[in-house]
Amino acid sequence: MMFSLLWTDILVWGLLSVLLFFGWGASRSEQIKKQWHAIFKSSIAMASAIILFFYLFFTLLDSVHVRFAMEPTKTKSEQVQYSEIVSLLDLIFAHNIQSTERTYSAPFATHEYTKSIIVDEHGVTKQEYLPLKHISKKAHSLQKSFIAVMIGLAISIMFILVHIFWRSGKGFKNEFKLIMQGNTKLPWRTAYGMIIFLIILCTWFYMLSFDYHVLGTDKVGGDVLYQSLKSIRTGVLIGILTTLIMLPVAILLGVSAGLFGGWVDDVIQYLYTTLSSIPGVLLIAAGVLSMQVMIGNNPTWFETTLERSDLRLLFLILILGITSWTGLCRLLRAETLKISQMEFVTAAKAFGVGRLTIIRRHIIPNLMHIILISVVLDFSGLVLAEAVLSYVGVGVDPTMHSWGNMINQARLEMARDPMVWWSLFSAFVFMFILVLAANLLSDRVQTVLDPRNKS
Amino acid sequence: MNSLLSVENLSLTVGGEKLLKSINFEIKQGEVFALVGESGSGKSLTSLAIMRLLPEVISVSSGDIKFKNDSLFLLPEYKMQKIRGKSIAMIFQEPMSALNPVMTIGEQVAEVIKIHLGLRKEETKEKVISLFKEVLLKDPTERYNWYPHQLSGGQKQRVMIAIALACEPDLLIADEPTTALDVTVQAKVLKLLKKIQVQRNLSILFITHDMAVVAQMADRVAVMRYGEILEEAECNIFFSSPQHPYTQSLLKDAMHSKEARERLRTPGKLLEVEGLKVHFPIKKGFFQRTVGYTKSVDGVSFSIPKGKTLALVGESGSGKSTIGNAILSLVPITEGTVKYEDQDLVHLSALALKPYRRKIQVVFQDPFSALNPRMTIGDIIREGMVSLGVVSKNRASQDAKISKLLEKVELEAEHMHRYPHEFSGGQRQRIGIARALAVEPELIICDEPTSALDVSVRTQILRLLQKLQQESGVSYLFITHDLSIVPTIADEVAVMKEGKIVEQGSVESVMENPQHPYTQKLLRSAPKLPI
Q: What is the DSSP string of B426-486?
A: HHHHHHHHHHHHTT--SEEEEESTTTTS-HHHHHHHHHHHHHHHHHH--EEEEEES-GGGH
Half-sphere exposure of A172 (CA within 13 A, CB side): 7
User: Percent of chain B scored above 70 by pLDDT?
Assistant: 96
Residue A45: the pLDDT is: 92
Most confident of A3-7, B257-261, B475-479: B475-479
Q: At what angle do helices A305-340 and A280-297 cross, to 10 degrees?
A: 150
CB A15 within 8 A of CB A244: yes
> In this structure, are A303 and A192 located in the same domain?
no
- Cα A224 to Cα A1, A409, A427, A432: the distances in Å are 28, 12, 9, 16
SS3 (DSSP) at B14:
strand
Shortest CA distance from A454: residue in chain B: B421
Instruction: Give CA–CA dist A277/A273, Å, rounded.
Output: 6
Shortest CA distance from A341: residue in chain B: B369
Cβ–Cβ gap A361/B383 under 8 Å: yes
pLDDT in tens, B292-319: 888 888 888 888 888 888 999 888 878 8
Among A190, A211, A232, the domain boundary falls at: A211
Q: Which domains does chain B have, with CATH numbers?
A: 3-255 (3.40.50.300), 307-328+345-525 (3.40.50.300)
Asked if the model's pLDDT at residue A282 lies above 90, the reply is no
CA A9 to the chain's CA centroid: 13
Cβ–Cβ gap A346/B373 under 8 Å: no
Q: Which residues contact B351 (CB under 8 A, 6 or more apart)?
A: none
- Cα A16 to Cα A39, A274, A386, B273: the distances in Å are 21, 34, 22, 58
**β-strands B203-208, B171-175: how paired?**
parallel
Is there a cis peptide before residue B517, judged by omega within 30 degrees of 0?
A: no
pLDDT in tens, A75-126: 555 556 667 788 888 888 888 787 777 788 888 877 788 888 888 888 888 8
- Cβ–Cβ contact A144 with B under 8 A: no
A203-206 long-range contacts, Cβ below 8 Å, gap at least 24?
A: A203/A148, A203/A149, A203/A151, A203/A152, A203/A155, A204/A145, A204/A148, A204/A149, A204/A152, A206/A92, A206/A148
Which residues on adjacent β-strands are paired with residue B283?
A: B290
Shortest CA distance from B283: residue in chain A: A262
> In this structure, are A333 and A368 located in the same domain?
yes
| Torsion from C-alpha of B490, B450, B530, B189, nearest 10 degrees | 120
**A83, A61, A65, A64: which is closest to A73 by C-alpha?**
A83
Element (H, E) at B86: helix B77-86
Among A184, A211, A238, the domain boundary falls at: A211
B393-413: average pLDDT: 88
- Cβ–Cβ contact A31 with B under 8 A: yes
- Written as one letter, the residue type at B161 is I
Q: Which residues contact B310 (CB under 8 A, 6 or more apart)?
A: B302, B304, B475, B476, B477, B478, B490, B491, B492, B493, B494
Eight-class DSSP state of A449: H
**A228, A276, A219: which is closest to A404 by C-alpha?**
A228
> In this structure, are A252 and A165 located in the same domain?
no
pLDDT in tens, B199-218: 888 899 999 888 888 888 88
Instruction: Give CA–CA dist B289/B280, Å, rounded.
Output: 13
Residue A405: the pLDDT is: 85
> In this structure, are A238 and A184 located in the same domain?
no
- Written as one letter, the residue type at A346 is T
- Cβ–Cβ contact A362 with B under 8 A: yes
Instruction: Give CA–CA dist B442/A145, Å, rounded.
Output: 82
User: Percent of chain B scored above 90 by pLDDT?
Assistant: 3
Chain B interface mutation, best of A30, A343, A455, highest count of B Cβ atoms under 10 Å: A343
In a domain, A430, yes or no: yes
Cβ–Cβ gap A346/B325 under 8 Å: yes
Cβ–Cβ gap A344/B369 under 8 Å: yes
Cβ–Cβ gap A342/B369 under 8 Å: yes
User: Percent of chain A scored above 70 by pLDDT?
Assistant: 95
> In this structure, are A301 and A400 located in the same domain?
yes
Shortest CA distance from B281: residue in chain A: A262
Confidence of residue A169 (pLDDT cuts 50, 70, 90): low
Q: For A347, which of B354, B362, B374 is closest by C-beta distance?
A: B362
Asked if the model's pLDDT at residue B257 lies above 60, the reply is no
Asked if the model's pLDDT at residue A255 lies above 90, the reply is yes
A325-331: average pLDDT: 91
ipTM over 0.90: no
CATH of the domain at A371: 1.10.3720.10
Confidence of residue A455 (pLDDT cuts 50, 70, 90): very low
- Cβ–Cβ contact A166 with B under 8 A: no
Residue A58: the pLDDT is: 92
Confidence of residue A333 (pLDDT cuts 50, 70, 90): very high
Confidence of residue B329 (pLDDT cuts 50, 70, 90): confident
Residue A452: the pLDDT is: 59
Asked if the model's pLDDT at residue B445 lies above 50, the reply is yes
Eight-class DSSP state of B391: S
In a domain, A198, yes or no: yes
Instruction: Tally the residues of chain B.
Output: 531
Instruction: Give CA–CA dist B363/B383, Å, rounded.
Output: 15
Asked if the model's pLDDT at residue B259 lies above 60, the reply is no
CB A84 within 8 A of CB A66: no
Cβ–Cβ gap B388/A451 under 8 Å: no
**B99, B103, B217, B115: which is closest to B161 by C-alpha?**
B99
Asked if the model's pLDDT at residue B260 lies above 60, the reply is no
Shortest CA distance from A32: residue in chain B: B374
In a domain, A415, yes or no: yes
Which residues on adjacent β-strands are paired with residue B475?
A: B443
DSSP string, A71-116: PPPSSS--SPPB---EEHHHHHTHHHHH---SS-B-TT-SEEEEEE
Cβ–Cβ gap B383/A266 under 8 Å: no
Residue B298: the pLDDT is: 86
- Cβ–Cβ contact A366 with B under 8 A: yes
Chain B interface mutation, best of A35, A340, A344, A369, highest count of B Cβ atoms under 10 Å: A344
Most confident of A108-112, A326-330, B316-320, B330-334: A326-330
Q: For A343, which of B328, B369, B421 is closest by C-beta distance?
A: B369
Rg, chain B, Cα only: 26
What's the domain count of chain A? 2
CB B216 within 8 A of CB B190: yes
> In this structure, are A335 and A430 located in the same domain?
yes
Instruction: Give CA–CA dist A211/B54, Å, rounded.
Output: 66
Shortest CA distance from B420: residue in chain A: A344
CB A144 within 8 A of CB A199: no
Instruction: Give CA–CA dist A180/A176, Å, rounded.
Output: 6
- Cα B95 to Cα A229, B101, B144, B328, B426: the distances in Å are 60, 11, 17, 33, 26
Shortest CA distance from A348: residue in chain B: B384
SS3 (DSSP) at B281:
strand
Asked if the model's pLDDT at residue B164 lies above 60, the reply is yes
Asked if the model's pLDDT at residue A253 lies above 60, the reply is yes
> In this structure, are A230 and A187 located in the same domain?
no
Least confident of A223-237, B2-16, B372-386, B432-446: B2-16
- B22 φ, ψ (degrees, to nearest 5): 35, 80
Q: Render the burial of B241-260: b for 16+ CB within 10 Å, e for the rest.
A: ebeeebbeebbebbbbeeee
- A412 φ, ψ (degrees, to nearest 5): -80, -30
Shortest CA distance from B385: residue in chain A: A351
In a domain, A1, yes or no: no
pLDDT in tens, B338-348: 888 888 888 88
For B497, other C-beta atoms within 10 Å of its C-beta total 19
> In this structure, are A153 and A262 located in the same domain?
no
> In this structure, are A403 and A298 located in the same domain?
yes
B403-409 long-range contacts, Cβ below 8 Å, gap at least 24?
A: B405/B381, B405/B434, B405/B437, B405/B438, B406/B377, B406/B381, B406/B431, B406/B434, B408/B434, B408/B437, B408/B468, B409/B433, B409/B434, B409/B437, B409/B464
Residue B370 with chain A: CB contacts under 8 Å: 342-344, 347
B125 compared with A139, residue with greater pLDDT: B125
Residue B439 with chain A: CB contacts under 8 Å: 351
DSSP string, A320-356: HHHHHHHHHHHHHHHHHHHHHTSHHHHHHHHTT--HH
Least confident of A407-411, B206-210, B430-434: A407-411
In a domain, A395, yes or no: yes
Largest separation between any pair of C-alpha atoms in chain B: 79
In a domain, A334, yes or no: yes
Eight-class DSSP state of A184: S
Instruction: Dihedral sign for Cα A326, A331, A336, A337, please.
Output: positive
CB A364 within 8 A of CB A274: no
> B372: distance to nearest CA of chain A, Å?
6
Rg, chain A, Cα only: 26
Q: In what order do the strands lie in the sheet with B203-208?
A: B88-91, B171-175, B203-208, B32-36, B220-225, B228-234
Cβ–Cβ gap A351/B439 under 8 Å: yes
**B63, B36, B67: which is closest to B232 by C-alpha?**
B36
Cα three-residue angle B293-B298-B300, rounded to 5 degrees: 160
Give the domain extent around A186: 140-211
pLDDT in tens, A344-361: 998 888 888 888 889 988
**β-strands B443-447, B475-480: how paired?**
parallel
> A358: distance to nearest CA of chain B, Å?
11
In a domain, A65, yes or no: no
Which residues on adjacent β-strands are paired with residue B3?
A: B28
Cβ–Cβ gap A366/B419 under 8 Å: no
> A341: distance to nearest CA of chain B, Å?
9
Asked if the model's pLDDT at residue B263 lies above 70, the reply is no
> A259: distance to nearest CA of chain B, Å?
14
In a domain, A317, yes or no: yes
Asked if the model's pLDDT at residue B147 lies above 60, the reply is yes
- A81 φ, ψ (degrees, to nearest 5): -90, 140
Q: For A344, which of B354, B370, B387 is closest by C-beta distance?
A: B370
> In this structure, are A203 and A234 located in the same domain?
no
Instruction: Give CA–CA dist B13/B255, Å, rounded.
Output: 34
> In this structure, are A231 and A160 located in the same domain?
no
> In this structure, are A241 and A342 located in the same domain?
yes
CB A437 within 8 A of CB A443: no
CB B372 within 8 A of CB A344: yes
Q: Which residues contact B475 (CB under 8 A, 6 or more apart)?
A: B270, B271, B304, B305, B306, B307, B308, B309, B310, B442, B443, B444, B469
**B211, B158, B165: which is closest to B185 by C-alpha?**
B158
pLDDT in tens, A364-402: 888 888 888 788 778 878 888 888 888 787 888 888 888
pLDDT in tens, A64-84: 888 877 665 555 555 566 677
> B388: distance to nearest CA of chain A, Å?
7
Mean pLDDT for all residues in chain B: 84
SS3 (DSSP) at B22:
strand
